[in-house]
Structure 1
Amino acid sequence: MNATVTTPEVPPAKVKLPIGLAIAMLVMVGVLLLPLPADLPVAGHRMLAILAFAVVVWITEAVSYEASAIMITALIAFLIGTAPTLQDPTVIYGSSAAISMALTGFSNSALALVAGALFIAAAMTHTGLDRRIALVTLARVGTSTRRIMLGAIVVTILLSLVVPSATARSACVVPIMMGVIAAFGVDKRSNIAAGIMIIVAQGTSIWNVGIQTAAAQNLLTAGFMEKMLGARVSWLDWLIAGAPWAIIMSGVLILLVLKLMPPESDSIPGGKEAVEKSLAEIGPMTGAQKRLMAVSIGLLLLWATEGKLHHFDTTSTTYAGLVLLLLPRWGVMTWKDVQSRIPWGTVIVFGVGISLGTALLTTHAGQWLGAQVVANTGLDQVGPLGVFAILGAFLILIHLGFASATALTSAMLPILIAVLQTLPGDFNRLGMTMLLGFVVSYGFILPINAPQNMVCLGTETFTARQFARVGLPVTIIGYLLMLLFAATYWEWLGWM
């Protein structure tokens, strides 16, 4: 008779509460227990507690951004839902009104533009047009070490115009550049490989400043402009303001990489052949790629001529382009083709980010905090250039704690706009908001500060120390150049 051997069940390992989430909850409760200032509504007090919770969760990355978005929505629903309204303190908001406040960001045109931009990025990847643009550019620029580094910047600029997602751009360029590095036969840990990848990462951040549709945080900034200031900056005006800075900083980046990480050789055999081989492998341009290119160029023209030749906003023209791309027979993709390529979590976080900023204003928390900042920092004693210098430096420093520029924009920009609205004096608050939006893209020092940095770090061609060695002077020079632009070029354009 065979005896049945039973193995004892191993109890599942207990999942501990992330320390960052525990700290966030304690900070939120701590803010709620603070005495209520006489000039701050109860709902505003509670929104500041929710903001504190969000900032700690985002900085510590205790949970995913998507999970944090759902948590923030629930907190607004219950904490604001049980708070008295600003209009009549004897009446509470109710959970229905509060959840509507928590979801108001999903009806914002900026969110629709982000979703549309993600579809265009997915279409680029689906058809392979982004890869073709990168390879053709590299073939034209040349394949010496310096030319490859210049080519990486040129590819970044071109893709920034037609691929409205920093992560998608880097995910496209990185495999191509790794293929070129492998064809060169140089060591993966060489200065050449490290320099090329750092240029891809930091060049992407630089051009997030130059082009409005290049990054989600720019579109979030535009959304806050429209909500809080009743106006926004057109695509062309953003380009005119930001592109000259980005062009200069692109040259600075290449010079710094060549100086701080001098390449072992300037002449590398096999590079040109590798690019030509990759181009031969992908074959001639397909019909879908030609149609996508036509739509992309058309969108660029429509974005650039908004308010000049027509009055259709960027979101509307983008969706018209999407209709063409999704048309049966003529289009280049179906919903099934691209739905798995869309980072839907980004859309959720973006929507909740706008809702958080809107709720801070609706409950007067943002205005109250802005007034406190002005009253206690002496910002009202300095001119517009001083205000930009101080708030810009603050954003650069606090970005060191954030792994997402979108999260940083959601948490800080509504407060900074409230500060600008509180400040006395006659200066362009819309322009100042755009310029502070430029500074949000400063993810140059730590790899964790931007998704494209992490994509490039994953190639194991450089270390965090090497990245910071280049990124620190890029940050300092970029900041000083912005101050120079603020005192001259941006002043002449009327943005200060």
Structure 2
Amino acid sequence: MFQVVRNRVLPCWRSIIVVLAPLLLLPLPLSRMKEAECGYVILIMAIFWMTEALPLPVTSLIPVVALPLFGIMETSDVSTAYMKDTNMMFIGGLILALAIQFCNLHKRAALAVLLLVGAKPRWLLAGFMGTTAFLSMWISNTATTAMMVPIVDAVAAELYKEDDVEMVRSISQSTVATSSGSVEELVPSESIERAKQSAAAEAERRRKVRAGIMISTSYCSVIGGTGSLIGSSPQLALKGIIQETFGATELNFASWMAFTVPGMFINLLFVWVWLQVIFIGLCRRTDGGREKEVIKVIRQKFKDLGPMTFHEIAVLVLFILCVALWFFRDPGFMPGWAELFGSAEKVDDATAAMLIVVLLFIIPAKSPFGCQEEQSETDGGSHKPSSALLEWKYVQDRLPWGVILLLGGGYALSDATKKSGLSNWIGVQLAGMVVLPPFLIMLVVCVITAAITEVASNTAVANIFLPILADTAIAIRINPLYFMIPVTATCSYAFMLPVSTPPNAIAFAAANMKPNEMMKAGWFIKLVCVIVICVTMETWGNVVFGSKQFPEWANVTAITLRT
């Protein structure tokens, strides 16, 4: 019987979940209540998202089928949710990130920073961490890690290249000398054994140093991704859900960075110290003799990029312009540029992002005037116009269309919870939580989120938790941002398992780590990040968002829900 289950049933577990989940939850829609029908769709999608019984983007399309059939929303309304302005901003940010990769500007920035920090392992670690975190604020976590790992590999190989060879050679010569019957024993057998143990210990130490620097690229890409509103998809899910539920709030690009960047630096400092404790050693002497060689390798890689081209300069200028447009659209501490065109509600961040995207495909890569031509070596010396800063084929092949559908599915569910009355019902049920301290509620929810995100998609977890937290906050008269922002950041804090996020998988495989090493390093970092984000919201969050007061925009929503 067990053999049959193992060979016939377990390989089909995904199909079993796809069939059983809707059947077991069938009593909900049979009640013929809109709230229960909407809950039925949400629970099915939550199960499919967390188990990945279906591909995540496919699960995200279920609302287009289920919500109209249950009469909760019209098909046109559901479809509109998949291309809200927040999703357009996300697409624009991704295309800008692809432009940075397309011209290799990210590699130039990374190598320049490494030249500044030096070659000692702990400072190399700091350099890689800072570079990775900054790039990850604007480029996807996966792309940042994939770009940094080969650089780490080259630097680590140069750091220990010749010492290992000399060590093995010394041990081999000692062994030959003692095993030869024609020569006098040069080294006692005990000394040979100690030398072998010392060599093995040194090789293990160097492996751990390399692993520590390698895994830092994953951890810092995750932490850095929380530093800007476009750094990770959970932030975009938050922005879309808040905008759809409450309208205008204190949350914008500038306020998000003002709140998260201080906490990001604190988390990076703890990660830097902890990885030294686990992998490098805080007081261990470094390989000073190899530092010049490492710097030489980094400098050579930097030289191989050549002088900065017009292509890179133009993309850098557009990147800075885009960030400035996002930051100063409605900064809060001064009138934003959006006021020139009506109001910040009419001109959102997606407009700025798409303006930059259009310019990427207009400005030529070779000439500031658009008329310089480059000679073709394969066409008999004929000329062709200079290509643009970015090519659509490059974007088409690399844009993560599945994540866009994932965000859209979350927005559709958010709309459905309001129109079905499920959000009102949840708010009533959760009103009893008013007896608990708000900080305790936030901490517990963040811990639960941090545990679930190790085995489920970050964006999927955000889409499931954020609408519920919005209703909870309204029910107990707490600023919804007080709960929603920490949980959004916590959705990204997946550090313990290689399968938690693609960056973890990339770094784990490249570092040849042991699973228990990642668990040992990751649990403390996760704990620190959760505590830091909760304490930051309790203190600094009240300054940036007024999180201790129940805002007027949430009060209007509460009145609407009750009526």
Is 1:316 the counterpart of 2:338? The answer is: no
Higher Cα radius of gyration: 2
Give the 5 Å matches for 1:311-390.
Answer: 311=338, 312-329=347-364, 331-372=388-429, 374-375=430-431, 378-390=432-444
Is 1:251 the counterpart of 2:251? The answer is: no
Q: Give the letter aligned to residue 193 of structure 1.
A: R
* Residue 237 of structure 1: aligned partner: 255
Contact 2:15–2:53 (CA<8 Å) still a contact in 1? yes
Contact 1:126–1:338 (CA<8 Å) still a contact in 2? no
Is 1:22 the counterpart of 2:16? The answer is: yes
* Residue 103 of structure 2: aligned partner: 127
Is 1:295 the counterpart of 2:295? The answer is: no
Contact 2:18–2:48 (CA<8 Å) still a contact in 1? yes
CA distance change for structure 1 residues 442 and 367 in 2, over 3 Å: closer, same or farther?
farther
Matching residue within 112, 116, 135 for 2:92: 116
CA distance change for structure 1 residues 117 and 18 in 2, over 3 Å: closer, same or farther?
farther
Is 1:446 the counterpart of 2:497? The answer is: yes
Give the 5 Å matches for 1:41-52.
Answer: 42-52=33-43
Is 1:206 the counterpart of 2:206? The answer is: no
CA distance change for structure 1 residues 31 and 368 in 2, over 3 Å: closer, same or farther?
farther
Is 1:304 the counterpart of 2:304? The answer is: no
Normalised by the length of structure 2, the TM-score is 0.76
Matching residue within 384, 402, 405 for 2:458: 405
Contact 2:218–2:503 (CA<8 Å) still a contact in 1? yes
Which stretch of the first structure deviates more once superposed, 113-122 or 387-396?
A: 387-396
Contact 2:28–2:36 (CA<8 Å) still a contact in 1? no
Contact 2:60–2:406 (CA<8 Å) still a contact in 1? yes
CA distance change for structure 1 residues 332 and 271 in 2, over 3 Å: closer, same or farther?
same
* Residue 178 of structure 2: aligned partner: none
What secondary structure, in the 3-state scheme, does the structure 2 residue paired with 1:214 have? coil
Structure-1 separation of matches of 2:490 and 2:337 = 30
Structure-1 separation of matches of 2:10 and 2:527 = 40
What secondary structure, in the 3-state scheme, does the structure 1 residue paired with 2:25 have? helix
Normalised by the length of structure 1, the TM-score is 0.86
RMSD: 2.6
Matching residue within 171, 174, 179 for 2:149: 174
Give the deviation of 1:469 after TM superposition.
0.8
* Residue 488 of structure 1: aligned partner: 539
Structure 2 residue runs without a partner (length 5+):
1-7, 162-202, 339-346, 366-387, 549-563
Which stretch of the first structure deviates more once superposed, 219-228 or 334-343?
A: 334-343
Q: Summarize deviations over 1:58-114 as a string: whole Å, max 9, x none.
A: 222223212322345333343x24xxx6xxxxxxx6xxx2x3343232231111111
Contact 2:496–2:523 (CA<8 Å) still a contact in 1? yes
Contact 1:121–1:168 (CA<8 Å) still a contact in 2? no
Structure-2 separation of matches of 1:406 and 1:34 = 26
Is 1:223 the counterpart of 2:277? The answer is: no
Which stretch of the first structure deviates more once superposed, 64-73 or 247-256?
A: 64-73
* Residue 68 of structure 1: aligned partner: 59
Q: Summarize deviations over 1:266-319 as a string: whole Å, max 9, x none.
A: 236232122112112121112111100001111122222222331253211111
Structure-2 separation of matches of 1:333 and 1:18 = 43
Contact 1:59–1:401 (CA<8 Å) still a contact in 2? yes
Q: Give the letter aligned to residue 398 of structure 2.
A: R
Structure 1 residue runs without a partner (length 5+):
1-13, 86-92
Structure-1 separation of matches of 2:20 and 2:312 = 53
* Residue 295 of structure 2: aligned partner: 272
What secondary structure, in the 3-state scheme, does the structure 2 residue paired with 1:441 have? coil
User: What percent of counterpart residues are identical?
Assistant: 22
Structure-1 separation of matches of 2:227 and 2:110 = 19
Give the deviation of 1:17 after TM superposition.
7.9
Structure-1 separation of matches of 2:64 and 2:507 = 33
Q: Give the letter aligned to residue 285 of structure 1.
A: M
Structure-1 separation of matches of 2:125 and 2:55 = 34
Structure-2 separation of matches of 1:239 and 1:353 = 23
Give the deviation of 1:24 after TM superposition.
4.3
Is 1:160 the counterpart of 2:136? The answer is: yes
Aligned pairs, number: 459
Q: Give the letter aligned to residue 363 of structure 1.
A: S
Is 1:147 the counterpart of 2:123? The answer is: yes
Which stretch of the first structure deviates more once superposed, 239-248 or 188-197?
A: 188-197
Contact 1:160–1:211 (CA<8 Å) still a contact in 2? no
